[in-house]
Structure formats: structure tokens, C-alpha cells
Amino acid sequence: METLQGRTAVVTGSSRSIGRGIAERLAARGALVAVHYARDAASAQDVVDTIRKADGQAFAFGAELGGEGDAERFWAEFDVQRRAFSDDGDTGVDILVNNVAVALRDQFEDATSADFDRMMAVNIRAPFFIVQHALGRLRDGGRVINISSAVTRLGLPEVIAYGASKGALDSFSRILAKVLGPRGITVNVVAPGYVDTDSNADWLRHDENAWEETAAKSVFGRVGEPEDIGDAVALLASDSGRWITGQHIDVSGGTRM
């Protein structure tokens, strides 16, 4: 297992679901993980406590994303909590995972401008400016990993606006890889498929037919787990990922191949 010892990782939206799986995996590899949350401080602290019980290092910080000035507030709060965690004064970042997202289900004919704007604000605008405002703190040789979705290749009509926002994230990531390449910073996209998370509980966990049908979409015959995504992110974050950049890594278990 490659170590991430001595590196600081920031994972947006890591108080639950896929983000939590990523945070815990990076911490297990030795990284100091900043667990970001928007509103649920208690869940973020639970992630921190879990990591610390496993002899890892983590701290939580909160910032709402999707509004004017959100990137500035995000990093300002990170700095406050990082300094509270340790008095070494180091607010540099080695690994930045843009995971937080809003996924609203809208058929094209029913989509509203409010839903569209909300998804664009959180899913692409926030990552764009979070990275922009991190340029001075991202260390050379670092990693930017953006969590997209398999919907960008599956073409699901019920998530058309969400898919468009993730498609924009994919394009941003490819271009950003060129921008940051001279500094040795890799930029990649990890695209999960169907994953067993609390946000999917209503239609996935409580419906046996839905679970079986969803599992059958993967060549492995099962539904993904947050840890599956966390391991892919950890690989890209490690030294083994140093020669991988500008890539869209499908982590859907071969969904609909």
C-alpha cells in the first residue's frame, strides 16, 4: 500500500456517501484529511472521529458552496481549522478532491431554471473557483481529482441537467490538466456509476427489485460502494498516479458495457 504520509488532502462534501469513502481511504494511506461539509457538522465530525480511531489524521471545516464568494469563504475556513489543528502554520495542499455535487432529477420538459442554476453553481462553478483560489497553496507535484459521473456517457434523460453540469466538469478537468501540467500537478476525473449511498436510499436500498436491477447493470453483478471510489482516488493521489493526467477514469464497475 503506497503511503500518502506527509500530504494534506482536502475532500469537498466528505461528511457522507462517496466523499466519506474517499476521505477515509486517503486517511488510511497516511494523508492528513480536511473533511469539508456544507451544513451537517455532526456527520463531518463523525468522519473525523472514525479516521482518528483508526490512527489517522483529520479535521473538519464547513462552508456552503454555490453562492457568490463561496471559494474565498471555503479557503478562509480551511485556514482557520487547519491552524487550529496544528500550530505549524502550514496551509498548503497536496491533494484536492472536488466531490461535492447537487443531483436533482429533471426530465428535459420539466427542468426549471432554478434547478439548473443550482446544479451548475455547485457542480462546476464551485470546483472551478475552488481550484483557482487554491493555486497559491497547491504544492508542485500535487493532485486535483474531480468526481464526475458515468451519466456523461450513459445519456439518462431523467438527469439531463445534472449530466450537463458533469460534462462541463469533465471538459474543465482536461483543460486544467494542461494549465497545471508545468507544475507537475495532475488533474483527473473519476466517474462513479451506481453507488450505495444514503442519497440513493429511497429508491435503491428499500426496493429489492431496484437493487437487483441496478446490480445487474454492472459486469460484476453488484452495486458499487463508496470504498470502490475511494480506492480509485487514492491510486491517482499516490506516486503511482504521477504520469496520469487529463483522464476520465470510469469507476462504474463496467456499467452498461
Is residue 213 a part of any domain in this protein?
Answer: no
Signed CA dihedral, 149, 154, 155, 157: sign only = negative
Which structural domain range is residue 106 located in? Answer: 8-192+222-250
Is residue 231 a part of any domain in this protein?
Answer: yes
pLDDT in tens, 7-38: 999 999 999 999 999 999 999 999 999 999 99
Kindly name the residue from 59, 74, 162, 194 that is annotated as catalytic: 162
Is residue 34 a part of any domain in this protein?
Answer: yes
Is residue 53 a part of any domain in this protein?
Answer: yes
- The domain tally of the chain equals 1
User: 209: Cβ–Cβ under 8 A, 6 or more apart, which residues?
Assistant: none
Is 162 designated active site?
A: yes
pTM of the model: 0.96
pLDDT in tens, 67-91: 999 999 999 999 999 999 998 989 9
Q: Which candidate, 1, 11, 7, 6, places its Cα nearest to that of 145? A: 11
Is residue 41 a part of any domain in this protein?
Answer: yes
Is residue 211 a part of any domain in this protein?
Answer: no
pLDDT in tens, 125-180: 999 999 999 999 999 999 999 999 999 999 899 999 999 999 999 999 999 999 99
Is residue 39 a part of any domain in this protein?
Answer: yes
CATH number, position 113? 3.40.50.720
Place of cell 456523461: 152
pLDDT in tens, 37-76: 999 999 999 999 999 999 999 999 999 999 999 999 999 9
